[in-house]
Amino acid sequence: MTAQPPSRCPYRIDEAGTDIHAEAAVLRGLGPAARVVLPGDVQAWSVTDPGLIRRLLTHPEISKDARQHWPDLINGQIPTDWPLQVWVEVVNALSAYSTEHTRLRRPLTAAFRPSRIRALEPQIVHITSQLLDDLDGIRPGEVVDLRARFAFQLPLLNVNMLLGVPGNLHDGFRASVGGLFDTSLTAGEAETAAKDTYQLLARLVEVKGEQPGDDLTSELIDEHRNSNLTRQELLDTLMLVIGAGHETTVNLLDHAVTNLLTHPDQLSLVTSGRVAWGQVVEETLRHQAPLASIIMRFPTRDIEDTATGLVFRRGEPIVINYAAANRDPLVHGDSSAAFDVARATSGEHLSFGHGPHYCAGASLALLEAVTALRMLFERYPDLRLAVPASELRPLTSFISNGHQELPVVLRDPAGR
């Protein structure tokens, strides 16, 4: 994609996400927020300024509930086959507002409590070790897709463990989850991806209803039986955990490996112990936000941001552009586009959100990423990309920021 010149406004978002960061740079050049056109010719604001993002994400009169606060949807101006429909139709903590958000987030906060995350660490180590053992069968010099064989599998297995997903449903979720984030799909393809996911979720609820266990799905089913969650809220909360808890960590691992392999000096800082693995994860989250943009939020009344002078009218959709905000030169300096594991401002990213909707599973994602990267590079110190980084193909999404494949060579041909 060739980024459009700043004079073109509203800016039409590249639905295939061909070059997320070139697009983000153009949008930053248009000001703290710019008017954009989303797939389906839906007009919105894309907010790129970190300060403005924080103010909007904590504003009590900015809603995520499209069913209540998006006039175009309420008035039937958004077609039912809009390709991004699932993002505004779901009824869970991601799309709720005010007291409803508090109610729907409560079981997730309990599920991701610190004691539970700490208890998961031995199992995360075990799953990581098993995946690496599987890779040991790859012949020296042979190319393997590390995204498919490692980065994709690890968080899915961990989320499935947290949810208590039976083994016979693993492959189904693996096939359907990615379609929820592909913003280049046709309306029919997007509808099929959502339908397949809901069928799997219904089957999961059926199985766990008959055979409950010490897992999040069983806890959410109890919430439903106690009338704290409707059936739809139960399914959509499970979708949130599987979708957000999986896709973000896959992209995090994907980009961390890519950045370390293309910056051997940075990798040396980590493997020598001069920089901690946690710092690598934070800088990756800043440099390559796993979710580049999040849709959508809606002012419940006209809101003027006094710091910028911008006015967001009631019901105007707002997209939060994390990819642009995380590389803001005013926060991270002239080198904001560079990957630097020693960067003092690495932790000042917004990749987990901010305010009431801050990612409930952030601590799990950090634990998974630190564990996976440490164990991967300990097992395969000669790991290298099998193609130039410029040949890695981005996901077809302006929301999800990762690669379609991550071809690597684990060991050199001499078998080291």
> pLDDT tens, 140-199?
999 999 999 999 999 989 988 899 999 888 878 777 776 778 888 887 888 888 888 899
Mean pLDDT on 319-326: 98
- pLDDT score at 414: 62
pTM, full prediction: 0.93
Q: Rounded CA gap, 380 and 216, in Å?
A: 34
Q: Is the pLDDT of residue 123 over 90?
A: yes
* Number of CB atoms found within 10 A of residue 145's CB: 16
Residue 37: φ, ψ to 5°? -115, 125
pLDDT of residue 367: 96
Q: Given a cut of 60, is residue 311 above it in pLDDT?
A: yes
CATH of segment(s) 11-409: 1.10.630.10
| 140 token code pair | 């020296």
Tell me which amino acid residue 370 is. V
CB 297 within 8 A of CB 63: yes
